[in-house]
Structure 1
């Protein structure tokens, strides 16, 4: 209903004759349009206002949205139940903590730098990684 009480929107829902029948929305809309004058007279007599509002009929789609949301929630619950059944007998694919540091790689000798292991065994050496900096180890001529 508008603030000036001149226009009113009436939302309606159409249901089938049985649960499995499709509702006849077009037939319901046509019937409401045919009965608009009679319904407007009833509204005017019942409200007691100076001007009887014009009626506009709009199909209410909330029930369709609710039905769709119920279907989506049921699918989500079924997927959660399937995942719970799979999880019961599942074992981790790897170790419990794949990022565990077992001390096999020493820290970089350069503060804040990165190091790489150049060999394995007792003579393993950590070499610092540099990004374009001069390490003094190359044979290129200095500029």
Structure 2
């Protein structure tokens, strides 16, 4: 299985794509992870949206920000792959595409993420290194990670 990757600004998203993004994020971050938090945080309009589709269906997604829009460095967040599709390694394909989109749009700068602690090895495989101590975000252990 291979993802069809689309990178779009907020204004370029169709209503259907925006609905699918919010549905996927809610499906994983709110329902699957049993975490009540404000996913619609008022920042999507500043982000670039990396959509991973298979057979026309959104199955993977990230949003990326320029330096200063979310963190000090350009950043990747809301990294999500539909549970039924995780066995295909789509998360790695999505991260490679998101790192490339960050470099293409914001230059070869450090990339910062707020990673769920249990995914540390996943992000290390993409060159991210933990910086500082862990912390709780919405009740879930996270760590700051940087890719130089």
Instruction: Identify, as 1 or 2, the structure richer in strand.
Output: 2
Greater RCO, 1 or 2 (C-alpha within 8 Å, sep 6+): 2
Structure whose CA Rg is larger:
1
Please, what TM-score do these two structures have when normalized by structure 1? 0.24
